[in-house]
A and B are shown apart, each in its own frame.
Chain A
Amino acid sequence: MSFFGLIRENGVFLLGAMGKTLELTLLSLIFAAFIGLFFGLLNVSKNRICNTIANIYIDCIRGVPLIVLAFFVYFGIPMATGIRLDALTAGIISLSMNAGAYMAEIVRAGIQSIDKGQMEAARSLGLPYGKAMCKVVLPQAIRVMIPSIINQFIITLKDTSILSVIGFPELVKAGQIVIARNFETFKMWAIIAIMYLIVITTLSKTARALERKISYGK
């Protein structure tokens, strides 16, 4: 079957799977942002115990491949607890935990890049640490973090493909299903690669534009 014939025949199915991929990415990143903010703030705090907790989390998660984490959450946890997770939930948990660790490092680096005079000036006015962080330091840090967050978005989007191993019907899984039926290995993987390429390029270009807009408003 021709390239375009394959697209005609499987387009809707593949686009649906791409939708699932984006849904998984977006949900995971939202949770990852909270996880990252939480551990990032623990990491920059002056409290040693907080730093240690954050470092343990970051080191553990970064030291385990995502595929192992996904197997652990999807197969391991139900075995130990009897709680059965569906593939989407397990996928979101694994991806959020994974991206959260990287986000924590992005948050830490972002905060540390802001001149410490900003925090001192805020504290010297009597603002408590939390207020100074939220009103002065974080708004500036987020601006600095935007390129890294975009980068993490793209990495997480690509990492969703790993979740095909737990049977989540994202784009790679969908590709495997189609190929199992029509054996068009070369053309199908090319189509899927191009689909990823289009989405990721569009995202990074939009994000770049956004980034530029934000820095102009400074």
Chain B
Amino acid sequence: MESKHTESKNMEHNNSKISIKGLRKSFGHLEVLKGMDVEVSEGEVVCLIGPSGSGKSTFLRCLNALETITAGRVIVDGYDLTDKKININKARENIGMVFQHFNLFSNLNVIQNIMLAPVELKKLTKEEARARGMELLAMVGLAEKAQVYPSKLSGGQKQRVAIARALAMNPDIMLFDEPTSALDPEMVGEVLEVMKGLARDGMTMVVVTHEMGFAREVASRVIFMDEGVIVEEGTPQEVLLHPTQPRTIDFLNKVL
């Protein structure tokens, strides 16, 4: 922890939590991200919108090195993810991720899902992790489901558990990859409520989403991307209500 913070002071300018320069990502010959520059400050909620296939999810997955980075620099929470020598596991401890398809561990029940990482990585003792887990479950409104297996939960409940699981590591940054896209419409609200709460508490968040209402209400900044580049970015007001780029206007006309 110590070395990380001294290191991070040198690498970060001011209070930038995420600093991305010239990020490129190719799958074979297909270039999905074609040079992206993004800065995210502490406490910011950045929403990424754009048509499917525009590279939003790939971009997000580069932020915790779930995808290898083809070119450019990605510094997240003081860790240079493009540096082969860094301990990627250490870096990921500070970056929570929530997936479209929840990815709850189906061999473990809800509380075990939440306790696994803090206990295995010796962040907390079993008792502490259980107490913390119950606290987080209460926060997402699922305290009574602690002993239940994921297969018995609804989609909205699964996603709320997934958020609690990510929070159990006390991350500095939360990444959300289309967290409500796999949900039935009536369950979208409960998940967004939890996310709004996090945003209010000052969590730095990067959210790939199709929920324009959420972006408008919660985002400090909206980035519209298409075909691997940032087309337009600004406040929700600017991007969602007064877009200037034809591609943004076209996209918003289709989804709103």
Determine if B149 is an interface residue (Cβ-Cβ < 8 Å). Answer: yes
A117 to B108, CA, bound (A): 15
What's the count of A-B pairs with C-beta under 8 Å?
69
Interface residues of B in 110-142 (CB under 8 A from A): 116-117, 120-121
Given contacts A125-B117, A126-B169, A127-B117, contact A118 B89 (CB under 8 A): no
Query: Known contacts being A123-B66, A126-B169, A131-B120, is A115 close to B103, with CB within 8 Å?
Result: yes
Among A29-37, A132-140, A203-211, the one that faces the other chain is: A132-140
Q: Is B92 in the interface zone, CB < 8 Å from A?
A: yes
Query: Is A124 part of the contact surface with B, judged by Cβ < 8 Å?
Result: yes
Chain B residues with CB under 8 A of A128 = 89
- In the complex, which residues of chain B have a beta carbon less than 8 angstroms from the beta carbon of A140? 105-107
Question: Contact check: which of B93, B106, B149 meets A125 at CB < 8 Å?
Answer: B93
CA distance A120 to B102 in the complex (A): 11
Task: Given A115-B103, A140-B107, check contact A124 B66 (CB 8 Å).
Answer: yes
- Whether B121 lies near A121 (C-beta < 8 A) is no
Cβ B166 vs Cβ A125 within 8 A = yes
Provide the residues of chain B in CB contact with A118, threshold 8 Å.
103, 105-106
Q: Which B residues touch A126, using CB under 8 A?
A: 89-93, 117, 121, 169
B171 CB, min distance to chain A CBs, angstroms: 9
Across the interface, A120 reaches (CB within 8 A) one of B66, B106, B120, namely: B66
Nearest CB on B from A138, distance (A): 9
Which residues on B sit within 8 Å (CB–CB) of A117?
99, 101, 103
Residues of A within 8 A of B81 (CB): none
| Cβ of B46 under 8 Å from chain A | no
> At the interface, yes or no: B64 with Cβ under 8 Å from chain A?
yes
B116 touches A135 (CB 8 A): yes
* Assembled-state Cα–Cα distance A16/B208 (Å): 67
A178 part of interface (Cβ distance < 8 Å): no
Q: Which of B101, B106, B108, B169 has the most CB of A within 10 A?
A: B106
What residues of B have a CB within 8 angstroms of the CB of A139 in the complex? Answer: 107
User: Given the complex of chains A and B, what is the CA–CA distance between A143 and B106 in angstroms?
Assistant: 11
Chain A nearest CB: distance from B59 CB in Å?
Answer: 15
Q: Is the CB of A120 within 8 A of B103?
A: yes
Judged by a CB distance under 8 angstroms, whether A162 is at the interface is no
Nearest Cβ on chain B to A52's Cβ, whole angstroms: 21
Residue of B with least CB distance to A141: B107
Q: Which residues of B contact A (CB under 8 A)?
A: 64, 66, 89-93, 95-97, 99, 101, 103-108, 116-117, 120-121, 149, 151, 162, 165-166, 169
9 contacts between A and B (CB under 8 A): A120-B103, A121-B104, A121-B162, A124-B66, A124-B96, A125-B93, A125-B117, A126-B93, A127-B121
